[in-house]
A and B are shown apart, each in its own frame.
Chain A
Amino acid sequence: MSLLRVESLQMFLDSAAGPVRAVDDVSFEIEPGGTFALIGESGCGKSMTALSLMRLLPDVGRVRGGRVLLNGRDLLALTEAQMREVRGGEMAMIFQEPATSLNPVLSVGRQIGEVLARHGALRGAAAARRARELLDAVGIPDARRRLEEYPFQFSGGMRQRVMIAMALAGDPALLIADEPTTALDVTIQAQVLELLGALQRERGMGMLLITHDLGIARQLASRVGVMYAGELVEVASRIDFFAAPKHPYSIKLFAALPRPERRESVLETIAGSVPSLTTMFSGCRFAPRCPRVWSRCREEIPAWHGAETGYAVRCHLYDAVDAQLAGGGPAAQAPTEESASSLQAVEAAPLLEVDDLKVHFPIRQGVFRRAVGQVRAVDGVSLGLTSGRTLALVGESGCGKTTVGKAILQLLKPTGGSVRFRGEELTALPAARLRRLRGEMQIVFQDPYASLDPRMRIGDIIEEGLSALGQGGTPPAKARRTAELIERVGLSATMLGRYPHEFSGGQRQRIAIARALAVAPRLLVCDEPTSALDVSVQAQILNLLKELQGALGLAYLFITHNIAVVEYLAHEVAVMYLGRIVERGAVEEILREPKHPYTEALLSAVPRLDADGRREAIVLKGDMPSPSQPPAGCHFHPRCPRAMPQCAAAYPAETRLGDTHRVRCFLYE
């Protein structure tokens, strides 16, 4: 008997526009000890499915039909009191945001103790002992002391471990993990994923893993289900699925991933957008965006095929013509467009030279708020960039990479060092001169929702730079330029009169790019421009950026934590750790032959789709220290698997390993 069996689950959300069919006819099973990964892009209904199982829906949501059998008992038929016995007991859940999911004013011990009292009837000393065991089990050292502490005293990764300990406290048979590592850095993610896998093996627990990251699913899952627009479209074992996905949507998802071997080609994208879930569907939900659509797709809702073989897919392509397709299958088509030219003649003179850049923020304390110390957010960063090239600045959150970008643009006043743009020293430039240069260097931000003023029309937003810098000439000339720009980024000039809220995340990011392009910049600082976007949309933006670089000769300073994007887009890479660049060089050098132990660990921590066994996953110990109190010597040595005594003594100097490859590590001195 399976541990969990979901049958035709249907859940609607009430809205002004009618019921939103957030979860529609979803069925799957989880074996004891098995992991079922629910994959899909944002808004596809995967989290809502999990909340329906827990019966923790928002107040507008109601389950309309189906059964949820946990160990044979239908959860949807239980009374609320019975259901409370199940929640946190037989079935526990961990959430995406460890920062907000723990109660800030209760100690960790109390929050775990609550579950022990509720489901294990443990109190007092027995409960304290059990709580300590749980913290030990999830790898939190010094458990006795940590139980007295509050969530704000834990780092993000540690908080997620606390969440896991809390979920384990009821000794659940099924653990639901809703994007458990999305809010974490990649090295911390590796720690947590390893922990989840180990715990599951030890306890023989079933797991429902919800993720948007195919790599994570590949690492942890035994079976995989792909959701699109509220329904499952494909359910298969992990091995079969990752060998050859069958549904056109899944195929598209894989093809949209940026990968090194796709560097010279255009990424596949999915046309259009997810349909509104308030509509009554009469055909396949993916039909409007499907490259292999045919008339039947629009008229008839596809049925499941191949359920008996363990590889089920919901697509008409596998219908009557099973045999014919079995051979060819709707395989990914090779991209037809010619590769975007990125190999321009390298200009002799560098566009941007940054030397020993420092940005320190004072820490104020005491009665008179005197500066008692400094956060060395950026502590001696040097880099250079020429026209038509992309330099990726890679690092985890808090390493200072965004601060570097802002300091280069003089949006933050650097504490020291020099920034030369086209030979001019920006840090010493009078305000009026600087203002004239601002047109030549622009920035694209991470959050497409915060980067456009909600009170302005798109036309005014794009025109803003022209008006602020007094460029663009007469109003009609400006209007022409605006129309040109919006079409340049792939939108229509008819959209200029609209407001940002009418646009999707990807469209907003295009508008933000058009706004930056308006003043004809030579340097574009891209601060994580795709990290808030779904994979298929990310592919569109990456294609656009690549195409613009080829056409306009733009230089990109690409700030990111996403290694896959670096592999696809960058020419050079600089890896930052705690305010300093630890390694830099050409993209092949860094990604193929990383020298610095941190770079090695960072690269190996990324969950891979093509695990070729070439690299052993290196899981780093501990968290990144605070930049206000960096460790003495090499900042990385407390976490470094290859640390030597001298690492604690001094920060290593830069070693040249080739024409372009430089590293700061004693291993290479």
Chain B
Amino acid sequence: MLAYVVRRLLYAIPILIGVNLLTFLLFFVVNTPDDMARMQLGIKRVTPEAIAHWKAERGYDKPLLYNRNAEGAARVTNTIFFEKSVKLFAFEFGRADDGRDIGNEIRTRMGPSLAIAVPTFVLGLFVTVSFALLLAFFRATYLDFWGVVLCVAMMSISSLFYIIGGQYLVSKVWHLVPISGYAGGLDAMRFLLLPVLIGVAAGIGSSTRWYRTIFLEEIGKDYVRTARAKGLSELAVLFRHVLKNALIPILTGVVVVIPLLFMGSLLTESFFGIPGLGSYTIDAINAQDFAVVRAMVFIGSVLYIAGLLLTDLSYTLVDPRVRLQ
């Protein structure tokens, strides 16, 4: 068990290095800092001085990998690779184009992101698993058929329309909650309700269908027949036997996204004006703030790997075969 966890942790290291190298290549080798400067300053009328100034301001005026002009260890450390990429491992992200510290920004924006993402996740999981269980219970009936049709229709709608349509109906036509904005404390409820509901609705189609397939696959297995041969009711079979086994494949897909909840949702946050990490990322993309995008790529990868680890650990909770071997 412990060896297993340690091995998974060690495996994460080369992956993070890989991610780091990849972002370095993408941001500094494929396009040089000069290109970025010209892009930011406008292609047409840009002077070499302006470029040099722009680079110096952001610390991009160093050599990429090896600094001939420096002494000792600084030959390696006083480079773009060390300053911008290696330091990501220490969670030092540097400053954004507006001069603010990215690390600070991330810490303050995490709260609103989680305030939306966690309720959406929990409520969504509950609703879709319940719905899928319902369909599995009534399998091969009209309820099941039309439920699946509804799921396919719902998953054919772009998430953009869920948001646009939801905002229009709930806020504009019915005037129930504010269209967008955010406030701290209990007041946040008013602003969170709509995005959470929309987030849940947008995920119903595909998740329900997937869980239903998993449940049906389990229901076809031999041990279910054994359970029925004991005289158990269909509900007992479903909840005591099928659900517990189906949790294993469900966890595979679900646990991995839990850490990523920190990153928030790009679309929801930008539509509802929530000052979270999702909207931070979108703003950075639109402003072509490379430092922020780079930081978010790195954090995203760390969280994803954490999710993989959590998934492995979660198996030990539900699957005795993993726990006891």
Contacts and interface: CB of A to CB of B under 8 A. Distances in A.
B229 A87 contact: yes
A103 B241 contact: yes
Interface in A287-305: none
B231 A100 contact: no
Given A84-B231, A102-B226, A114 B320 contact: no
B324 A150 contact: yes
25 contacts: A56-B225, A56-B228, A81-B233, A87-B231, A88-B232, A89-B231, A95-B222, A97-B222, A101-B223, A103-B223, A103-B226, A105-B244, A105-B318, A106-B240, A114-B227, A114-B232, A115-B231, A118-B231, A119-B231, A150-B324, A163-B226, A170-B231, A365-B3, A366-B3, A366-B7
B221 interface: yes
B231 A86 contact: yes
Interface residues of B, number: 27
Contacts of B223: 100-104
A332 B319 CA distance: 55
Given A100-B221, A152-B321, A367-B3, A84 B226 contact: no
Contacts of B245: 103-105
Given A92-B229, A118-B230, A170-B230, A104 B3 contact: no
Given A100-B221, A100-B223, A369-B7, 18 more contacts: A56-B225, A56-B228, A84-B233, A86-B231, A88-B229, A88-B230, A95-B226, A103-B223, A104-B321, A105-B244, A105-B248, A105-B320, A114-B240, A118-B232, A153-B324, A166-B230, A366-B3, A366-B7
A367 B9 CA distance: 10
Contacts of B324: 150, 153
A59 B140 contact: yes
B173 interface: no
Contacts of A103: 223, 226-227, 241, 244-245
Contact of A56 (B229, B241, B244): B229
Interface in B126-140: 140
A22 interface: no
A163 to B, nearest CB: 8
A366 B230 CA distance: 41
B43 interface: no
Contacts of B221: 100
Contacts of B225: 56, 95, 101
A365 B2 CA distance: 11
B321 A367 contact: no
B245 to A, nearest CB: 6
Contacts of A163: 226
B30 interface: no
Interface in B285-325: 318-321, 324
A107 B10 CA distance: 33
Give the residue among A85, A97, A152, A367 with the most B Cβ atoms within 10 A: A367
| B interface secondary structure, majority | helix
A119 B320 CA distance: 27
Nearest to A51: B225
Contacts of A559: none
A88 B225 CA distance: 12
A54 interface: yes
Given A104-B321, A152-B321, A153-B324, A87 B230 contact: yes
A59 B229 CA distance: 15
Contacts of A152: 320-321
Nearest to A114: B230
Nearest to B325: A152
B186 interface: no
Nearest to A92: B229
B6 interface: yes
Give the residue among B10, B222, B241 with the most A Cβ atoms within 10 A: B222
Interface in B83-107: none
A84 B225 CA distance: 13
B242 to A, nearest CB: 9
A663 interface: no
B231 A367 contact: no
A93 interface: yes
Contacts, number: 88
A118 B229 CA distance: 12
Nearest to A97: B222
A456 to B, nearest CB: 29
Nearest to B248: A105
A81 to B, nearest CB: 8
B319 A105 contact: yes
A74 B7 CA distance: 60
Nearest 8 A-B pairs (CB), nearest first? A88-B231, A88-B230, A87-B231, A100-B222, A150-B320, A103-B223, A84-B231, A101-B222
B234 to A, nearest CB: 9
A87 B7 contact: no
A89 B232 CA distance: 11
Nearest to B242: A103
Contacts of A102: 223, 226
Contacts of A88: 229-232
Contacts of B319: 104-105
A366 B232 CA distance: 42
Contacts of B240: 106, 114
Nearest to B6: A367
B169 to A, nearest CB: 41
Interface string B26-69: 00000000000000000000000000000000000000000000
Contacts of B7: 366-369
B229 to A, nearest CB: 5
Nearest to B228: A56
Contacts of B222: 95, 97, 100-101
Nearest to A83: B231
Contacts of B321: 104, 150, 152
A621 B10 CA distance: 45
A101 B3 contact: no
Nearest to A85: B231
B230 A54 contact: no
Nearest to B10: A367
A85 B248 CA distance: 31
A306 to B, nearest CB: 35
A130 B222 CA distance: 25
Interface in A549-568: none
A85 B229 CA distance: 10
A61 to B, nearest CB: 13
Contacts of B232: 84, 88, 114, 118
A309 B235 CA distance: 48
Contact of B229 (A93, A104, A367, A369): A93
Interface string A118-154: 1100000000000000000000000000000010110
Contacts of A93: 229
Interface in A40-70: 54, 56, 59
Interface in A334-387: 365-369
Contacts of A368: 7
B166 to A, nearest CB: 39
Give the residue among B6, B229, B244, B324 with the most A Cβ atoms within 10 A: B229
A118 B230 CA distance: 8
Give the residue among A89, A93, A97, A104 with the most B Cβ atoms within 10 A: A104
Nearest to A115: B230
Interface string A603-644: 000000000000000000000000000000000000000000
Nearest to A112: B230
A178 to B, nearest CB: 10
A38 B40 CA distance: 84
Nearest to B233: A84
Contacts of B228: 56, 87
A100 to B, nearest CB: 4
Contacts of B230: 87-88, 92, 114-115, 118, 166, 170
Interface in A144-185: 150, 152-153, 163, 166, 170
A44 B11 CA distance: 53
Nearest to B224: A103
B309 to A, nearest CB: 15
